[in-house]
Amino acid sequence: MLWKFALRRVLAALPVVIGVTTVTFLLMKVTAGNYVPGLDLNPDLRPEDVAKLRHELGVDQPLYIQYAQWMVGVFLRGDFGRSLRDGTPVLEHIWTRLPASLELTVTAILIGVALAIPIGVASALRRGSRLDNLLTGVSVAGFAVPQFWLGLMMILLFAVSFKGWGLPWLPSGGQQSTIGGGDPLDLVVHLILPATVLSFVYLSVWSRFVRSSTLEVLSQDYMRTARAKGMTDRRAVYVHALRNSIVPLVTLIGLELPGVLAGGLVVETVFSWPGVGLLTYESAKSYDFTMVLGTTTFVAMAVVVGNLLADVLYAVLDPRIRYS
């Protein structure tokens, strides 16, 4: 049953992927045109030189041919093309950047989950209390504060100012020390700031969901029954309420999975974290058309897989859900 369901979802997702690539392709062409970094606006080259070089790169062809060639490459040969900036295969870039993104986002998600559940449950159990208000305040702030701003402020405080005050300071960016880095402690130290900033958003959103779903579960008949049977509140919450209240969280985490691959683009950029998000940002900034197209398509595919995984996990966690 499950595999049939999965297959149907994959087939249904194909138009989504094709749609995303088409829109990205057109958007990029509309904004960036057929600009080639380093080639256009170069007073060293004469107009006829530029025309020749454009021809060699194939960007002088009609749009639909460029698009068709690209689609054929991606979907029939798994070839995402080459970066316009440095001529290396796009996929190679994505694969080398992926581990860094995974490291950052998986850490952030783990921190987010580990904190969101207790915060959400505590808020729900002490609903309306001062604690609840405080936690609500924190999560509103976490949701409202832009990541880049929070990231820059943390850098300013924990890196620049701490260093200035002679306190132990955290590195302002990168995955490891530029010289002699790479040992576990070094990696953890570099992970602290970006993972904190990224997890703050997850934590804010997820703790709200956990809170409301816990409230809902607490008012269910079976909770009353459990207490009526003489179960302690604590046991009732841990045994019955918790498992049911985190089901919606699974969907949310599933939806974050593509984010795992794309990396928190903003956080990666602010912290110079060498992941897929930074790659996308840098490529867009330097008008590397094929690279942006490649990463976007890659992420679009990841969205589909992420949603699928969430659906499957749902069934495992919630026995009431059945696939037909």
Binding mask 228-267 for another protein (x = CB under 8 A): ----------------------------------------
Residues 84-113 close enough to bind another protein by CB under 8 A: 85-88, 93, 96-97
Which of 253/299 has CB closer to another protein?
299
Which of 125/270 has CB closer to another protein?
270
52 binds another protein, rule: CB under 8 A: yes
Binding mask 70-89 for another protein (x = CB under 8 A): ------------x--xxxx-
**Least distance in angstroms from the C-beta of 32 to another protein:** 5
324 binds another protein, rule: CB under 8 A: no
225 binds another protein, rule: CB under 8 A: no
Query: 19 vs 12, 26, 66, 265, 276, CA distance in Å?
Result: 12, 11, 16, 22, 21
211 binds another protein, rule: CB under 8 A: no
**Least distance in angstroms from the C-beta of 133 to another protein:** 8
**Least distance in angstroms from the C-beta of 220 to another protein:** 31
Residue holding tokens 């990666």? Answer: 268
Stretch that binds another protein, among 16-24, 192-200, 275-283, 314-322 (CB under 8 A): 275-283
Which of 183/233 has CB closer to another protein?
183
Binding mask 149-188 for another protein (x = CB under 8 A): x--xx-xxx-xxx-xxxx--x-xxxxx--xx---------
Which of 120/173 has CB closer to another protein?
173
Distance between CA 310 and CA 293 in Å, rounded? 26
221 binds another protein, rule: CB under 8 A: no
Q: Which residues contact 83 (CB under 8 A, 6 or more apart)?
A: 89, 90, 93, 283, 288, 290, 291
62 binds another protein, rule: CB under 8 A: no
Paired tokens of 42: 């170069």
Which of 151/254 has CB closer to another protein?
151
Binding site for another protein (CB under 8 A): 31-33, 35, 38-53, 56-57, 82, 85-88, 93, 96-97, 133-134, 137-138, 140-141, 144-145, 149, 152-153, 155-157, 159-161, 163-166, 169, 171-175, 178-179, 269-272, 274-275, 278-279, 282, 286-287
